[in-house]
A and B are shown apart, each in its own frame.
Chain A
Amino acid sequence: MADPMHQFEVKPVVEIAPVNVPGLGLVDLSITNSTVAMLVAATIVVLFFAMVTASPKVVPGRLQVVGEGMFSFIDDLAVGIIGSQGRAFFPFVFTLFIFILAMNMLGMFTVFTATAQLAVALTFALMTFLLVIIVGFAKNGLGFLKLFAPSGVPWYMLLFVVPIEVISFFLRPVTLSLRLFGNMLGGHVAMKVFAGFIVSLGAVASAGGVAYLAYVAAVLAFGGVLALTALEFLVAFLQAFVFAVLTCVYLNDAVHAGDH
């Protein structure tokens, strides 16, 4: 357990014979611990909303308040950022938010964090990116390309602005995925490292004598783990929120690109 990276290893749970996909060669679609984490997170989400909406009341109970709170939170976010057309994207943004939140939170209670897998974070980011491109061209046609040429900029400045805008646009899936992946990875590594300190400092202290001072350091490390755990709960929520906000911001670009 000393290796803080051990927790991120993907291991097959149910082996499935590699599938031969044309163009990609043999692809291993085995169900792994990562897949299980996704499945558990999604199941928790479904069970939660099944309970919340089983017998919804006009005067809500506690669970319904939580469910409706999340609903309103993302609803206000999507409509607030995208405008009246945000309603159409609300289910997508909500699914992203709640799924990422569930996987982040699951990582706080179990051994595996699916969102700390780059493959997972990148898939989410590419989904958003592709949706933005599709919606952008569907709503604005070629007017979507105005996104790269902000209005009110003199033509000689456009020579610099346009390449920068294009690059930043195509870096969006990278930044979006690395932000989520990096935060989850870093937080869990830091927790594991501090937790490892407690054990190794305890081993040092077992030598006796002056080495008992290592217990003090071990207690400090324990305090560090406590603080980091609290921080990581915040990060788990915050990263899901940030992902949802940025998805809304990018979708807003796609919807209103022609209005510039």
Chain B
Amino acid sequence: MAVQSSDAPPPQDILPHTAAAVRDGEVAPSETHAATEAGHEASGGLPQFEFQWWAGQIFWLLIIFAVLYFLLSRVFLPRLRRVKDERAGTIAAAVETARQVQAEAEGQAETAKVEVEQARAKSRATAAAAKARVTESANARAAEEEAVVNARIAEAEAAIGKTRDAAMSNVSSIAADTTRAIVEKLTGKAATAAETDAAVKGVA
């Protein structure tokens, strides 16, 4: 304490004795109010260590803190908590709704996809059926026409055969006539029809 008093700045050293006395007094909390107040202007120590003010500060601080704690914990903080919970609920509900809508849309998209798939399969089946039908009728027509053509070919072949047979029979009679004429010319005597026919047959 004595060292501190010598540290006191010069302009405040007007009353060194009083200051020292007061500072000595400060150590004892029972020091009277007026004396200390007069003294602490000259004191070089921290004003925070004037213990005479501690009780009042602590007393009022505790009361103010208690009131503040009560107001905050009972009124303001629950209100804020409610708002925050409400907001969290709103956001959660909105997200949930969005998720549902999305799931619904996905379901609809799935259904639409299945429908498209079905339609496509159906059209494919229809196309295949039409193709088969067309092919079938074309084949039938082709077969019909072929039959007609074949019949005509057979007819023609028969006619050709008949003509050829007729021609062939004519050939043997012509050959017989020719042979008779040749024999008559060469031998001077007419050959009988039976002889020439036999000769022609022998050649043929």
Chain A: residues with CB nearer than 8 A to chain B? 3, 5-6, 8-10, 18, 21, 24-32, 34-35, 38-39, 42, 45-46, 49-50, 52-53, 56-58, 60, 64, 67-68, 71-72, 90-92, 94-95, 98-99, 114, 116-120, 123-124, 127, 181, 185
Contact B80 A68 (CB under 8 A): yes
Our count of residue pairs bridging A and B at CB distance below 8 angstroms stands at: 138
Which secondary structure dominates where chain A touches chain B?
Answer: helix
Evaluate whether A9 and B47 lie within 8 angstroms (CB atoms) in the complex, with A28-B33, A56-B83 already known: yes
Of chain B, the residue at the smallest CB distance from A102 is: B68
Q: Which of B48-106 contact A (CB under 8 A)?
A: 48-50, 52-62, 64-65, 67-69, 71-73, 75-77, 79-84, 86-87, 90
Interchain CB contact (< 8 A) of B56 among A9, A30, A57, A90: A30
Interchain CB contact (< 8 A) of B69 among A8, A9, A71, A95: A95
CA distance A42 to B50 in the complex (A): 24
Contact A95 B47 (CB under 8 A): no
Contact B69 A92 (CB under 8 A): yes
Contact B57 A10 (CB under 8 A): yes
Sort chain B's interface into a size bin: 35 or more
CA distance A27 to B58 in the complex (A): 11
Chain B contacts of A45 at CB under 8 A? 68, 72
Contact B61 A71 (CB under 8 A): no
Interchain CB contact (< 8 A) of A42 among B48, B58, B64, B82: B64
Evaluate whether A119 and B60 lie within 8 angstroms (CB atoms) in the complex, with A72-B84, A94-B72 already known: no
Q: What 0/1 readout, one digit per residue, does chain B (23-58) give for beta carbons within 8 Å of chain A?
A: 000000110010000001000001111101111111
Chain B contacts of A49 at CB under 8 A? 71-72, 76, 80
Contact A8 B46 (CB under 8 A): yes
How close is A6's CB to chain B, nearest CB, in angstroms? 8
Contact B55 A28 (CB under 8 A): yes
Contact A28 B52 (CB under 8 A): yes
Chain A contacts of B55 at CB under 8 A? 21, 24, 27-29
Interchain CB contact (< 8 A) of B80 among A18, A27, A71, A127: A71
**Quick one: which of A9, A25, A124 has the most chain B CB within 10 A?**
A9
Chain A contacts of B82 at CB under 8 A? 56
Contact A91 B73 (CB under 8 A): yes
How close is B185's CB to chain A, nearest CB, in angstroms? 141
CA distance A34 to B79 in the complex (A): 31
Contact B48 A119 (CB under 8 A): yes
CA distance A8 to B49 in the complex (A): 10
Chain A contacts of B59 at CB under 8 A? 27, 29
Contact B83 A58 (CB under 8 A): yes
Of chain B, the residue at the smallest CB distance from A36 is: B60
Chain A contacts of B73 at CB under 8 A? 91-92, 95
Chain B contacts of A6 at CB under 8 A? 47
Given contacts A28-B53, A91-B77, A119-B53, 17 further A-B contacts (CB under 8 A): A3-B9, A9-B40, A21-B55, A28-B55, A29-B55, A32-B56, A34-B56, A35-B64, A46-B76, A49-B76, A52-B80, A56-B80, A60-B83, A71-B77, A91-B72, A114-B61, A120-B58
Chain B contacts of A18 at CB under 8 A? 33
Chain A contacts of B90 at CB under 8 A? 58
Evaluate whether A53 and B76 lie within 8 angstroms (CB atoms) in the complex, with A32-B57, A34-B57, A39-B64 already known: yes
Contact B47 A35 (CB under 8 A): no
Of chain B, the residue at the smallest CB distance from A72 is: B84
Evaluate whether A123 and B80 lie within 8 angstroms (CB atoms) in the complex, with A91-B73, A99-B65 already known: no
Contact B56 A28 (CB under 8 A): yes
Of chain B, the residue at the smallest CB distance from A189 is: B46
Evaluate whether A5 and B46 lie within 8 angstroms (CB atoms) in the complex, with A46-B71, A49-B76, A91-B73 already known: yes
Chain B contacts of A24 at CB under 8 A? 55
Interchain CB contact (< 8 A) of B58 among A8, A46, A119: A119
**Quick one: which of A10, A56, A60, A119 has the most chain B CB within 10 A?**
A119
How close is B60's CB to chain A, nearest CB, in angstroms? 4
Of chain A, the residue at the smallest CB distance from B83 is: A56
CA distance A45 to B12 in the complex (A): 39
Query: What are the 3 tightest A-B residue pairs by CB atom distance, in nearest-first order?
Result: A91-B73, A49-B76, A53-B79
Contact A10 B68 (CB under 8 A): no
Contact A123 B62 (CB under 8 A): yes
Contact B65 A95 (CB under 8 A): yes
